[in-house]
A and B are shown apart, each in its own frame.
Chain A
């Protein structure tokens, strides 16, 4: 009913929790299990602290270029929480909180952004694809994974993300259209963080909402306050249930705000107005969730402090592990090209040994 009652063509945006942490849409609010709420909150904080420290490590020269998720934790955590553990995640590159929620060791994420492919080796028990840099192509992969369930008889769903800029790519349309045609159980989530590097949404499309692009493909589509974990959780849950019961894909535009740079190689102060920045920062998902949890007695300031300290400890431990393991042996650059090294590659590998590398 959430999708039905929030037609993006009518300019509706689904929100339950406002930016101060007050429930503003009682009709759709339901209690979420206290442990699950705390799990979501903790994961948001963990991702935030990881990003904050990663920025410092990068400035210290201990990490390379990376793309912080700062500000977008809410929509990611809530959409993951609305799924089962064995459902699939097909991420975009700015998906830190979702990866963490899904169980990807933080060490992997650090390794990846330190320029080591081993970070992309997802543990076998996690149904998730690694980070890819090309924009938009993941939508078709998600559709394909969803299509495969029909043959493998799995009752899983796929959640995939894209940025606002990514919705201008051809594969965005191809992916949602194809999924619609074959009724693939995929939840397409647009993380509308307002910018594709320096290009604002207004230069990206003439459409009033990004969600309405899903209408053209004939799939249920909605625009949601992406920094409101309740709205994201319940909207995704409805989409997931719909997909799992055989009714095909849905599209969610999650409105959020990229608090940091596109990547550490970018300087947002060149193109972002102070006014827009302050407005974006005022809608922070973590602050409003914290206010809610404290007001309801689910969290105390003391718990909050403990969570932050634990998260910081985890970040340091995982980064230390990554730094210790951050070696790419020569063989690694050859051995994953094919299942077996071809004669040509064996020859080149022998030649390369002469140079040692690095």
Chain B
């Protein structure tokens, strides 16, 4: 075991998998020599050479599109999109081709690639650096969408993503890249894609979140427990495919459901989870399943970001509202 933060855990996963599997090739803007602007790929070019870890031209469509070609011919590209906000020029390749080649070719051609990118707000960043677009990606059949919230999961989920036979979008909550350390096993291990984690058991209400929302939820729950409210926290970990069973079982026990996400409200993952709760656990509900989310606005620049972000105060207030419904 070793104490690592999220970015170190990610780097270790990439390093260990590259060592093990020669088919892994890593590239993206500044991902080679500099090791990425967040240093996720730091040291990999020095260790594995320029053929296996390199700076691509500035071309998101090129990165994802060529990754598709690489993967089709048996390689395992692990691609970096520098910020989620830069994904959009590559979205055509990802949604229209990456997600479809398996289906289009009736299983002949597959695209086992990983596309990594930092996402989310709270770091006082520039335009297009703070959005959370997991819903947009999860809405596309053929993609898997994964979001870790801690170093252990970051390493384990990245290893699973690399081993996965389908395209996996690996969204990294950049706000917590270096926020805390956790003991992480030195060896290669997997955290399964598609399985949520019960982070804390409780009886009065289920609160579901992912990514950078998890520490906010934990802070809120600490206070709520002191006030005698028993909260079950679920870290969803994978947005698509979603772990319906974990949600169902938890809500059947607690009777109350709150989903917290920093992405905008409408047509989001919150709506999807509430539908699952309604379908699977309707008769167990003590109050309407509810979402606490960002507003339906363009994410403000830093000076207005505080108006937008989810914080423990908002979470506590919403939980109490549901408990007292």
Contacts and interface: CB of A to CB of B under 8 A. Distances in A.
Contacts, number: 128
B304 A134 contact: no
Majority-rule SS of A interface residues: loop
A20 interface: no
B296 A328 contact: no
B225 interface: no
A274 B304 CA distance: 40
A348 B296 contact: yes
A358 B309 CA distance: 9
Interface residues of B, number: 39
Contacts of A205: 57
Contacts of A328: 300-301, 303-304, 307
A65 B123 CA distance: 10
A334 B295 contact: yes
Given A328-B303, A358-B307, A196 B29 contact: yes
A265 B37 contact: yes
Interface in A103-138: 112, 114-117, 131-137
A245 interface: no
Contacts of B180: none
Interface string A315-358: 00000000000111010111011000000110011001001011
Contacts of B296: 337, 344-345, 348
B200 to A, nearest CB: 25
Contacts of B109: none
A64 B85 CA distance: 18
B252 interface: no
B201 interface: no
A310 interface: no
A170 B303 contact: no
A197 interface: yes
Interface string B278-301: 000000000000000001111011
Contact of B29 (A114, A137, A197, A270): A197
A259 interface: no
Given A115-B302, A170-B61, A333-B297, A133 B127 contact: yes
Majority secondary structure, B binding face: loop
Contacts of A133: 85, 126-129
* Residue with the highest number of chain B CB atoms closer than 10 Å, among A271, A327, A348: A348
A197 B30 CA distance: 7
A330 B305 contact: no
B295 A197 contact: no
Contact of B37 (A64, A197, A348, A355): A197
Contact of A337 (B125, B298, B313): B298
Nearest to A198: B34
A154 interface: no
A300 interface: no
Contacts of B33: 198-199, 271
A355 B314 contact: yes
Given A117-B304, A165-B58, A132 B127 contact: yes
A18 interface: no
Contacts of B314: 355
Nearest to A203: B55
A197 B31 CA distance: 11
A339 to B, nearest CB: 14
Given A197-B37, A348-B265, A352-B295, A203 B57 contact: yes
B203 to A, nearest CB: 28
A168 interface: yes
B295 A333 contact: yes
Interface in B87-129: 88-89, 124-129
17 contacts: A115-B301, A116-B303, A132-B127, A133-B126, A168-B62, A199-B57, A199-B58, A204-B57, A204-B58, A266-B37, A270-B34, A327-B303, A332-B300, A333-B304, A334-B297, A348-B296, A357-B308
Interface of B: 29-30, 33-34, 37, 55, 57-62, 85-86, 88-89, 124-129, 265-266, 295-298, 300-308, 313-314
